[in-house]
Amino acid sequence: MIAYAVWAYHRFPMSLRDAEYLLAARGVVVSYEIIRAWVAKFGLQYAKAIRPDRPKVAGEWHLDEVVLPINGKKYWLWRAVDSKGDVLDILVQSRRNKRAAIRFFPKLFKAFGEPRVIVTDKLRSYGTALKELAPGIEHRSHKGLNNRSEGSHRPTRRREKIMGRFKSPRQAQRFLSVHDQVKTVFRPRRHTLSAAAYRQTRADAHWIFGTTSRVSLRLLEI
């Protein structure tokens, strides 16, 4: 039931009180504060366990950054998606410069290797960081080419409204890291699949999450 609560909270645009009501409808009476504790304690463990079974990453990545207001201060949410629209990773930072880009790229390369192409907007920090870290990667910098990455920020804006803004950079990093991984696994491209293939893909996603969540719970108990 813990895994179900964490999954539902990240899979659908709902508040903690919505999740409390959803569990109550299934006969499980817990407060939204308990669900908050579950999300904080187990969410990152589930996300880490999901990563090895997520869809194969494409060789073309799209990177973008967007303002994330937190407690009256401007932060930047850096996000990378592949050409299929699957989110690779995010990083919340206080800067939008070369140093910030240099922090983000190694995180991506360590998890997924180096791509063939990276597409960004016109921010110069991307180009200077890539020349220093991975000069062999083709870099395409053009505002009109990066719509895929820019569109990936919309779910974040929806969750911001539901949650009433993020309370801290740490909370934003923790929540979005889990949210994007769950969304990627449970994001079958319905318009490209037959009904049977769609049902199988959905069942596979639930199996992945169910298996990894049980493993994570056992590891946390050790």
**Lowest mean pLDDT across 1-15, 62-76, 101-115, 208-222:** 208-222
> pLDDT grade, residue 92 (50/70/90)?
very high
Pick 201 or 30 by higher pLDDT: 30
3-class state of residue 182 by DSSP? helix
pLDDT band at residue 219, thresholds of 50, 70 and 90?
very low
pLDDT tens sequence across 163-174: 778 889 999 999
pLDDT of residue 172: 92
Residue 130 near residue 139 (C-beta atoms within 8 A): yes
Q: pLDDT at residue 40 above 70?
A: yes
| C-alpha to C-alpha distances, 3 to 15, 27, 67, nearest whole angstrom | 16, 16, 31
Please report which confidence band the pLDDT of residue 187 belongs to, taking 50, 70 and 90 as the band edges. low
Domain(s) labelled CATH 3.30.420.10 in the chain stretch across 60-167
Whether the predicted pLDDT of 222 surpasses 50: no
Band of residue 220 on the pLDDT scale cut at 50, 70, 90: very low
Q: What is the mean pLDDT of the chain?
A: 83
Q: What is the pTM of this model?
A: 0.79
Class for domain 60-167, per CATH? Answer: alpha beta
Q: How far is CA 151 from the centre of its chain?
A: 13
Most confident of 80-84, 150-154, 159-163, 218-222: 80-84
Question: For the residues 140-151, what does the mean pLDDT come to?
Answer: 68
pLDDT of residue 89: 92
pLDDT of 24 above 80: yes
Stronger pLDDT, 149 or 111, i.e. the higher one: 111
Q: Which residue has the higher pLDDT, 31 or 12?
A: 31
CB 217 within 8 A of CB 2: yes
Between 32-50 and 2-11, two packed helices, what is the crossing angle to 10 degrees? Answer: 80
Q: Indicate whether 19 pLDDT > 50.
A: yes
